[in-house]
C-alpha cells in the first residue's frame, strides 16, 4: 500500500521539481537577445554613442556588440558573409548590397542627411561648382555616396568628372585631412565631423561649398533631399529575431535624440570611443552632422527619391537597379 509517509515524500519531490522548473524558466526568460552592430567613425557612429555607452553599462534591453570601422568597404564583406547583424552604411551602398545579396537585407531607417562639404585651403577661388573646373579634389568614399553625389553635382553643372576635374580618392577621411595638413592638396571633399577636425588643424582652410545646398539648388522646389546614411539588417536576423530588431530601432532612436539634445555630454562620449579624439571638436561638429532618425514611410519616400536620382545619373551607383518595395522595413 501507498503509505502517508510515501505520499509526503512524493509531494515533496514534485514540489522541488516544480520549483526547479520555475527557476530554470526564470533564468531563460531573463536572457537578453543578442545583436552585433557595425558603424563607421562618422555621423552614424556619433549617433550610436549613447546606445554604446548604455550597452556597456548593461542597461539596454538587447545585448549589443559594437564595432567601428573607418571605411564602408570594410562593412560589405561582414554583411555578405553574415558576420554582423546590423550595419550603418551609405544609402547607395544599402541598395548595392540589396542587389548583391539578391534581397537578403532590408533598410531600417535613414540616420544621416547631407554632411558633405567642399573645402579650400589658402584661397577663395571656389565660389560655385563651376569653379571646380581644372581643380584636383581629394576625397574619400569611392563607390559610395560621396563619389556619386560629387559626380551628380559636377555633371549637373556642366562638368565631366573624368575630364574637367581630377578626383583622388583616399581610403579614409583621416588621410584626406592629413593631405590638407601637409599641403599636398588645397581642395577636398569631406563629411562632418571630419570637416570640423580638419579646420581645427589647417589654419587657412575654409568651407567653399555646402554640398547639401548645391544638391538642393539642382533639385529645385519639391525635389529630393540629399540623404547620406542609413541602417540595414540581414533579413535572416529580422525574420528570426524581429522583436530584438524593433527594440534596437527604439533604443537607437533614443540614442540619436540624446546626442542631438545633449551635445556636450555626447561629445565626451564621442571622444571616449575614439570617433573624434577631441571632445571640444566633437561638440562643434555634432550640430553640423545632420544626424536624424527617419523610419517607416518617411524613410521609404526619401530613400526612393534619393536612389532614383542616383540611378538616373548612373545605375551602377545603386547596384544596377532600384530596389523593390521589399527593401524597405515598415514596422
CB contact set of 31 (below 8 Å; sequence gap of 6+): none
User: Rounded CA gap, 247 and 257, in Å?
Assistant: 15
Query: Strand pairing partners for 34?
Result: 63
Q: Which residue among 219, 253, 285 closes a domain? A: 219
- Has residue 15 got a pLDDT over 50? no
| CA-to-CA dists, residue 132 to 10, 162, 188, 265, angstroms | 88, 13, 11, 38
Q: Any idea what the CATH number is for the domain that residue 322 is in?
A: 3.40.190.10
In a shared domain, residues 128 and 103: no
In a shared domain, residues 206 and 126: yes
Model confidence pLDDT, tens digit, residues 205-232: 999 999 999 999 999 888 888 998 999 9
pLDDT grade for 129, boundaries at 50, 70 and 90: very high
Q: Is 126 in contact with 210 (CB distance < 8 Å)?
A: no
User: Rounded CA gap, 49 and 46, in Å?
Assistant: 5
146 is in which domain, residue-wise? 121-219
CB atoms within 10 A of CB 274: 10
In a shared domain, residues 233 and 322: yes
In a shared domain, residues 212 and 230: no
User: Rounded CA gap, 319 and 317, in Å?
Assistant: 6
Q: Which residue among 186, 219, 252 closes a domain? A: 219
Residue tagged 555616396 (cell numbers)? 145
The predicted pLDDT at position 12 comes to 54
- Has residue 14 got a pLDDT over 50? no
What are the phi and psi torsion angles at 107 (to 5°)? -90, 135
Instruction: Name the domain count of the chain.
Output: 2
Q: Which residue among 196, 219, 242 closes a domain? A: 219
Average pLDDT on 80-95 reads: 95
| CA-to-CA dists, residue 35 to 246, 287, 329, angstroms | 11, 29, 17
- Has residue 23 got a pLDDT over 80? no
In a shared domain, residues 192 and 231: no
- Cell numbers given for 113: 542627411
- The answer to whether position 75 is within a domain reads yes
Cis peptide before 176 (omega within 30 of 0): no
Amino acid at each position: 500500500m501507498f503509505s502517508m509517509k510515501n505520499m509526503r515524500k512524493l509531494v515533496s519531490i514534485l514540489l522541488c521539481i516544480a520549483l526547479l522548473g520555475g527557476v530554470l524558466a526564470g533564468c531563460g526568460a531573463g536572457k537578453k537577445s543578442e545583436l552585433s552592430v557595425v558603424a563607421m567613425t562618422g555621423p552614424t557612429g556619433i549617433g550610436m554613442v549613447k546606445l554604446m555607452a548604455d550597452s556597456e553599462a548593461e542597461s539596454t534591453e538587447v545585448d549589443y556588440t559594437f564595432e567601428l570601422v573607418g571605411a564602408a568597404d570594410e562593412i560589405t564583406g561582414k554583411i555578405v558573409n553574415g558576420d554582423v547583424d546590423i550595419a550603418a552604411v551609405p544609402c547607395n551602398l544599402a541598395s548595392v548590397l540589396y542587389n548583391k545579396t539578391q534581397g537578403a537585407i532590408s533598410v531600417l531607417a535613414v540616420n544621416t542627411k547631407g554632411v558633405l562639404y567642399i573645402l579650400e585651403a589658402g584661397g577663395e577661388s571656389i565660389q560655385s561648382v563651376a569653379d571646380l573646373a581644372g581643380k584636383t579634389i581629394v576625397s574619400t568614399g569611392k563607390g559610395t555616396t560621396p563619389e556619386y553625389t560629387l559626380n551628380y553635382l559636377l555633371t549637373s553643372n556642366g562638368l565631366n568628372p573624368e575630364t574637367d576635374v581630377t578626383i583622388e580618392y583616399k581610403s579614409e577621411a583621416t588621410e584626406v585631412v592629413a593631405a590638407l595638413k601637409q599641403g599636398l592638396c588645397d581642395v577636398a571633399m569631406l563629411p562632418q565631423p571630419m570637416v570640423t577636425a580638419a579646420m581645427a588643424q589647417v589654419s587657412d582652410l575654409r568651407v567653399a561649398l555646402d554640398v547639401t545646398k548645391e544638391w538642393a539648388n539642382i533639385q529645385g522646389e519639391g525635389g529630393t533631399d540629399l540623404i547620406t546614411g542609413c541602417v540595414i539588417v540581414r533579413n535572416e536576423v529580422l525574420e528570426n529575431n524581429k522583436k530584438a530588431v524593433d527594440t534596437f530601432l527604439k533604443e537607437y532612436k533614443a540614442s540619436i535624440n540624446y546626442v542631438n539634445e545633449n551635445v556636450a555630454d555626447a561629445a565626451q562620449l564621442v571622444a571616449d570611443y575614439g570617433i573624434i579624439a577631441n571632445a571640444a571638436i566633437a561638440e562643434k561638429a555634432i550640430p553640423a552632422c545632420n544626424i536624424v532618425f527617419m523610419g517607416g514611410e518617411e524613410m521609404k519616400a526619401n530613400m526612393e527619391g534619393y536612389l532614383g536620382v542616383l540611378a538616373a545619373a548612373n545605375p551602377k551607383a545603386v547596384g544596377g537597379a532600384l530596389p523593390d518595395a521589399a527593401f524597405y522595413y515598415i514596422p
